[in-house]
Structure formats: structure tokens, C-alpha cells
Structure 1
Amino acid sequence: MLGPLGNIFQLKDNIKTKRISSYDKTGGNADKIVIPAGETTEIARIDGAGIIKHIWITISTQDPFIRRNAIIRMYWDHEENPSVEAPIGDFFGQGWGEEYNFISLPLAAAPAGGRALNSYFPMPFGDGAVITIENESECDIDSFYYYIDYEVHPSIPKSAGRFHAWWNREITEVHPEEGETEWGVIAQQANNPTDQHNYLFADIEGKGQFVGINYYVDSPGPMWYGEGDDMWMIDGESWPGSLHGTGTEDFFNSSWCPNELYLHPYFGYARIPEKYGWMGRTHCYRFFFEDPIYFDKSLRASIEHGHDNNLTLDICTVSYWYQTEPHKIFPNIPSKALRINMPEITVRDVHKWRHEWRKALGNGKKLWGNESI
């Protein structure tokens, strides 16, 4: 297989390179647009056939949570329902409305401090493309700068799938009777011969191929948040499916409960918590460019939140794939109020947990912390 530079020297006929950007149409230096609070702005409308090759965006606003409060949507070939719908930060690899550097092959958040959002996903269309930004903030986006670089083609092959991206979020529930535990710390763990209670990150109908995921997990406790098997039910098959994983870190191509920054073009950990154990926010990512997940009719993809779904976690994902149209309409994106972060667990909270534990052990004078009830 040729790499990304493998055919750069090949000359092509009947292709034109175009750009839509926020440049100052007067010839001045005010190279930006304003997106008022509560409004949706169309940043690109392209006629005919072509391929979007690169998107660059940077934002200035008084809203510190704009990356979760602004929604990016993309429409192909005059469709009514978007093929891409996600908070703008999450789409480009920035969880929790935060700003931090992120490096991968198709997506990047570049300096200064991750504020430059880039996509290199190729996005083909046969009869038009539209990209919009909805500002659900109470503040105007005072400065929205962007490039959309694309190619104009005479036509697009019928085999060209359309690019899709879907954001999902769930505060997961503890399902097993043994309670919230990993590694059997509290009790022996049960088996999980189903994907019924898993966290769902893809629910697709049509023919296509799954190519990537950004996975943002906020853990309220210090226990390892993983041990969750990824499960793929292709074309309506039953459990255990064609592909069945062995643990969260394995799915993201790492091992042994990592808690360190690591940025590979295809996989990595772009953000890790700075607390005790794995408490706090971790951003994992995985792109399937050498090993896409193919499906002819449908794909249901999910992952356990802890073995046997026994952990309460705040999980948000953006999944990326190509497929034939029409696609299954996405559920309504949760309201702004339902997209806010969960409260941060602090040292004070942990101290209160210890206080309750001491009471459970009779308020002994020299309780250390490793005593069992």
C-alpha cells in the first residue's frame, strides 16, 4: 500500500484546487467571521463533485467552554440530515471543552496550546457539500478563522463512501451485583456474555467501513477505568461478534493500564489525569487506516465500561466512518445543559470518603487506610 506521499508525484487531469476561507473580502486584515450567540452560520457551500481535503479552524470567544458549546455539521449531496454532527472540540480531538496539543494522522490540535484545529480526513461528495457551525453559547464567537481546502472533480466514483462522524455521551451505570470494582478488588467479578450494557459508539446502517474513534473518559475514582472489551456486531450478527477485544488499553494499542502521554499517527493518549491513579480525564484515540472495519449492512460497535460494565464513568466519543447513503439518522444531539462536564472529584471529596470509611471501622485511633471492613 502506498503511504500518504506514495503518489504525490503523479500528475492528474481535470482536477482543480479550491479554498473557502474567512479572509477579509475588502483586502484588509480582518480575516475572520463573527458567529453570534444562538445562531447557526454556514461556513461552506460547494456545488458539484469534489473532495474536501483539509479543514483548519481557530476560535476566539469569551466562552471558555465553546469547544463543547459549538456544533459542527456537514451535509453531502443535498441530504437533509447531517452526516457529521459533533461538538467542534470533540470532533477535532479536544475533550471536555479543553485546549491541549494533539497529534494524529487525520486530526490535530496544533500550537498555540492546541488552539489550531485541523482535519485531513478526505470527504468526497458527488453533488454538493455544506458545512455549518451552530453557536449554542451565550457569547458571540468574536473571531472564527477557517480554511476549507477542497478539490473539484468532474465526478466522484460510485464506490466513494461519504464521510460520517457521530458524537455520543453516557454517564455509565454499574450493572453487576458485586458493585463497582476492577481486578476483583471488592468481590469476584462475573462473566459478561452480551453487549447489552456496553457503552455504544457506533450504530450504523448501510455499507461502509469504520476508520476511527476519539474516546474521552472521566473517571471519578482512582481505579483503572479499563478492562472493557470492545465488541463489534457486523451485519446483524449476535454476540460475541466477528471482532472481540481483551481490554480498553488493548483496543487503543497500548498495554498494562497506561497513564502517560503517547502520540502515534494511528493511536495514543493525548491527555492523561494528574491525580491519584486513573482518577480524572483521559483522551484515547485509535484510527483504523491499515485495518478498517468493513460492513455490508450494519455495524453495532461498543465497549464495556470496566469488566462486565461495573464502573460509573463519563464517556464521550466521536466515531468516524465512510458509508453509502442514506445513513441512519443520528439521535438528537444532547442539549447544551446535557453536554457539560461532570463535577471534578477533589482532594476534599477523597477525604470525605476516608471519613466515612473510618466510621465504618469504628473510628479507630490509628486506622491507616488498607484495613478491610
Structure 2
Amino acid sequence: MSASVFSLGGDLLSSAAKRKTARTARVASWDHTGKNEDAFVVLPGESATLCDIEGPGTLTHLWFVQTCRKIMGPGLIPYSKSGVAMMEIHNALGLTYEVSDPDYYRKVIIKMYWDDSETPNVLAPIGDFFCVGHSMAANFQSLPFTVSVKPSEEKKFGGAAAFNCYLPMPFNKRARIEIENQGDEAYFQYFYIDYELFPEPLSDDTLYFHAMWRRENPTNGWAPDYIQTNSLETQVKNLDGKDNYTILETEGAGQYIGCNHSVAHFQGTWWGEGDDMIFIDDDTWPPSMHGTGAEDYFSQGWGMQKNAYPFAGTIIHEEDVPNHQVSYRWHLPDPVRFSKKIRVTLETGHANHLRDDWSTTAYWYQTLPGPKLDILPVAQRIPRKPEFPAGDKPQNPNLQVMDPTKKAMVEQRQDRMEAFVKDRNEWLARRAADSKKRAEENIEFAKDVRKRFLEGLKE
């Protein structure tokens, strides 16, 4: 049987009517005991293996739902008696007092490894990989990614959300996905990782999925903040692109398929006007692809609009969240191909005059081995947030001069908090140990699926 039968590609709709020798399978966080503790728990400073699958095959779909809660006060329902991963009860009712960690989408990172790769081929904060910029959850839909957010969580830092990714991720020998919790609270991960297995190796022209996140905070703008965007004073030349923001730089052969882009703009004018410049292989000047403005690169115009199309659009618009914008552009029908190397860049304002907070996740396919990726320390990944209350916070009262009855109630709260946290920590430790066991069992389950698939082909 020809290996080309198992190569990637084909029309999305017509492929449903074409027979293919493959086995569809899934690795998930389901509770192997048959109960309902359907989430992996990853304690602070620890990692979890979500999947470790032997190929040849292709990951076809990722569904992730997650939470990371800060306990602000003792609840009336101990976690060991609740049976849920988080208390979805409004704090105003007095039954619970807990909030989502507003920064956990940046504190938790996702890593993916293909075949013999010793370093990650995908390395990004969990939120930014799934297009949640600034750790701020927002509904959006595109062809390769969707994010679904409850109305009460929309545009909140750390808001609860469901993520989906439909980009194919091929592997010949092995596919491994890990989550690393670099935060200081326990992290919960529900997940599906759907995939196909093939009986023969992928074709030689197969490229491997990569993604990386980076941030400049601030960008290296040359102008003082009082130089207005689009003013006469910004009209200087940029005829080399050397100081542009770099979205992606890699060597090898492959194709760039797009990015998400988050910006916090400080001047209160307009963050755009920066041209996209993509240098391919042996480009000098001008590059193979030179654009006319950031909004133009993201397939919009006259600024950014509040829409989300299959291949380009807005996730967070600056009119809804002042001074913040999250955009995306997918080069799926028009991939940017390279044979030796590529550098994808964008001016930070015309001729790079703006000093703003920019972060991007780049997505591309290329030959192995890919580049050795790295990521900023967790402290440098935290998004900017407005502070409330402004100025100095009200001081707590002096307990030494407090009425004895009221002071006793304050002390009672401390006793209840200690008991509540102790119970929850014991529950978390049990859940985390069970998650590690489940991860090991999932590897064996995947091996068994592959064995039965190959044996079935011999019948």
C-alpha cells in the first residue's frame, strides 16, 4: 500500500466521503474509576503528561477546559464533600469566597513534542496558544480555533472558557503533550485529544506543527509618548525592517500559517499603521512580502472592526476594552512558504515609533528538527491590568481595640480558613496523585488501541 494514501491534505468536506485506512481514537481526562472527577490536577511547580502516543498518526482536535482558583476565604462546603473542581456559586451568597487567578492563562504553559524532538516544538502560555490574549477570555470563532465563554466570564482576566483547536498535528514516531503549572495555585485541566493512527509512515513531504509565543513589553519604539500616531513627526523612512517586531524567525523548510496578536496601547491614539514585512529565504530588500499596515495584515481596514471571520478578525476590540486589541490572521488558504528560512515581522507603529506592550503566538509547519524554543520567565509574562481601588487601599481596623465579640468573629474566620484550606489541600494532593496515575494509564490505553488497530488490519 502506498504511503501517499496516508499523507495529509484533501478537501475538508469531500474527505468525509472518501474511505481511509485509519483508526480514530482519543486521549482524555476522564475518570478511570467511573466516577466524575474528570479533570487532571497539576499542583504548583509540577507538570502533567496529557498524551504520549506512538505513531504514525495525526492529532486532529484539541478540546481544553480549565480553571485555577484562589481561595479568598473559607467556604461552607468542603471541597472533599463537593465532588466538583470549582464552586460556581456567586461570592455574594456567602457560601464560598474564591476567584479565578486572573493571570493563570499566562502562568501555565503547554508543550508539544513530535517524534525524536528533545525540546518542545510548541511552547506557549496555555491561553495565548488558544488565542486568549492578555489572559482575558473572550468568545470568538475562526476556522482553526474557537473559544467559548459564559456571558458572566466574558472579557474577564482569567475568565472560564472552553478552547478548541482543529489544526492537524502529524507525527511519525511519537506525539507528546505536557502542561506545566508555573503558577502558585493548583491547576485543573479537562481535555480531549482526538487523533488518527495510520498503518504506514507519513509521506516524506510531511511538515510538523510548531507554535511559539513571545512578548516585547514595551516594544523598542524610538519616539517619546507625546509624538502622536500618524502625525508629521512620525513620517520617517524604514527601508530595512531591522527594528521591526519579530513574530517568527526560523530555519528549515515549511510554511507559516499565521498568528494571534495582543497589544496594550499606551498613547490612547492608535496602535496600528505598522507594515508587515516577511523575509523569505535569501531576501534582502525589499522582502518577498511587504504590506501597508497592521490592520491591513489582519485583513481589515480603516482600523479594526468587531468581527471574527474564518481566517482573520478581532477577538478583543479596543472599543470594548479600551487600549487593548487582540487580532488574528490565518494563512491557511494562502500559506507563506519557505525553503531555507523565514522572518515574519511587523512594525510597531509606522517606522517602529510606538512603545507598547505586544505579544504574539506564531503558528507554522516545518521540517524537523525545528528551532530550540524558549519562553520568558513567568513574572515577565503577567498581563497588565488596571488596579482597583485606585491609590492606597483602605487600612484594616486595629484588632487590639476591637469589641471582643467582633474580634472573636475575626478569629473564628481564621480558624475556619485553616480547616478549609487543610481539607482542600489534602483533596488536591489526592486528585494530583490520581491524575499522574491516570496519565500513565492513558499511555497504555493508547498503546492498546494501536495494537488492536494493526492486528485488525491483518484479519
TM-score of Structure 1 vs Structure 2, range by shorter chain: 0.7 to 0.9
Q: 1:357 corresponds to which residue?
A: none
> Which residue among 279, 295, 302 is the counterpart of 2:338?
295
> What percentage of residue pairs aligned between the two structures are identical?
37
Cα deviations by residue, 1:183-214 (Å, 9 ceiling, x for unpaired): 125x2511111111110001010000001110
Question: Who is 2:126 aligned against?
Answer: 88
* Structure 1 match to 2:32: 25
Residue ranges of structure 1 left out of the alignment (5+ in a row)? 350-373
1:7 is paired with a residue of what secondary structure?
A: helix
Superposed CA RMSD in Å reads 2.1
Tell me if the contact between 2:261 and 2:328 (Cα under 8 Å) persists in the aligned partners.
yes
* CA spacing shift, 1:345–1:45, aligned 2, 3 Å: same
- Partner AA of 1:44 in structure 2: C
Deviation of residue 179 (structure 1)?
A: 6.9
**Match of 2:18?**
10
| Aligned counterpart, 1:136 | 182
Asked if the contact 2:31–2:37 (Cα under 8 Å) also holds between the matched residues in 1, the reply is yes
Find the residue that maps to 2:287 and give its secondary structure.
coil
Question: Is it true that 1:45 corresponds to 2:92 in the alignment?
Answer: no
1:273 matched to 2:314? The reply is: no
Q: Does 1:263 align with 2:308?
A: yes
Is the contact between residue 145 and residue 165 of structure 2 (CA under 8 Å) also seen in structure 1? yes
In 2, Cα distance between the equivalents of 1:174 and 1:241?
A: 22
CA separation of 1:178 and 1:341: change in aligned 2, threshold 3 A: closer
Which structure's CA Rg is the greater one?
2
Residue 173 of structure 1: aligned partner: 220
Q: Which moved more, 1:109-118 or 1:243-252?
A: 109-118
Task: Give TM-score, length-normalised by structure 1.
Answer: 0.87
Shift of 1:273: 2.2
Tell me which protein shows more helix as a share of its residues. 2
Which residue of structure 1 lines up, in the alignment, with residue 148 of structure 2?
110
Q: CA deviation at 1:37?
A: 0.8
Q: Does 1:304 align with 2:347?
A: yes
Cα drift, residue 104 of structure 1: 0.8
Secondary structure of the 1:8 match is helix
Counterpart amino acid of residue 212 in structure 2: W
Q: 1:208-256, CA deviations, whole angstroms, 9 ceiling, x for partnerless residues? A: 0001110111101221111100001101311221000000010010001
Instruction: Kindly report which structure 2 residues correspond to 1:186-201, keeping only aligned pairs within 5 A, or say none.
Output: 187=233, 189-201=235-247
Once the two structures are superposed, residues 1-60 of structure 1 have per-residue CA deviations (whole angstroms, 9 ceiling, x without a partner) of 9642122111112x0011000001011111111111111111100012100000001112
Offset of 1:178 from its aligned partner? 10
Q: Counterparts in 2 of 1:283-362, with a 5 A limit?
A: 283-330=326-373, 332-344=374-386
Q: Is the 8 A contact 2:143 2:311 kept in 1?
A: yes
- 1:339-368 CA deviation, whole Å, 9 max, x = no partner? 01235499x99xxxxxxxxxxxxxxxxxxx
The worse-fitting range, judged by mean Cα deviation, of 60-69 and 200-209 is 60-69
Match of 1:119 among 158, 165, 174: 165
Residue in structure 2 matched with residue 77 of structure 1 by the alignment? 115
Higher relative contact order (CA 8 A, sep 6+): 2
Question: Aligned equivalents of 2:38 and 2:62: distance in 1?
Answer: 16
SS at match of 2:12: coil
| Other-structure match for 2:136 | 98
Q: Distance in 1 between matches of 2:123 and 2:370?
A: 13
CA deviations on 1:60-113 (whole Å, 9 max, x unpaired) are: 221221111100000000210111000000000101111111211001111435
Q: Which residue pairs with 2:88 in the alignment? A: none
SS in 2 for 1:286: strand
Aligned pairs (5 A) from 1:118-267: 118-141=164-187, 143-154=188-199, 155-170=201-216, 171-175=218-222, 180-184=227-231, 187=233, 189-258=235-304, 260-267=305-312
**How far, CA to CA, are the matches of 2:314 and 2:303 in structure 1?**
12
CA distance in 2 between partners of 1:101 and 1:343 (Å): 20
Separation in 1 of the partners of 2:386 and 2:227? 19
Aligned equivalents of 1:292, 1:233: Cα separation in 2: 14
Q: Which amino acid aligns with 1:32?
A: A
Closer, same or farther in 2 for the Cα pair 1:178/1:61, shift >3 Å? Answer: closer
Is the CA contact (8 Å cut-off) linking 2:47 and 2:180 kept in structure 1?
yes
Q: Secondary structure at the match of 2:272?
A: coil
1 CA distance for matches of 2:278 and 2:386?
32
Partners of 1:71 and 1:88 within 8 A in 2: yes
1:37 alignment partner, SS class: coil
Name the CA distance, whole Å, in 1 between partners of 2:284 and 2:228.
27
Question: What is the SS of the residue equivalent to 1:68?
Answer: helix
Check whether the contact 1:226–1:247 (CA below 8 A) recurs between aligned residues.
Answer: yes
Of stretches 126-135 and 232-241 in structure 1, the one that deviates more from structure 2 is: 232-241
The 3 A distance-change label for structure 1 pair 159 and 338 is same
Taking the aligned partners of 1:78 and 1:42, their CA distance within structure 2 comes to 16
Indicate the structure with greater strand content: 1
SS in 2 for 1:167: strand
CA distance in 2 between counterparts of 1:176 and 1:31 reads: 52
- Normalised by the length of structure 2, the TM-score is 0.71
Tell me if the contact between 2:134 and 2:384 (Cα under 8 Å) persists in the aligned partners.
no
Amino acid at match of 2:41: V
SS in 1 for 2:128: helix
The amino acid of 2:361's aligned partner reads V
8 Å Cα contact 1:182-1:223 kept in structure 2: yes
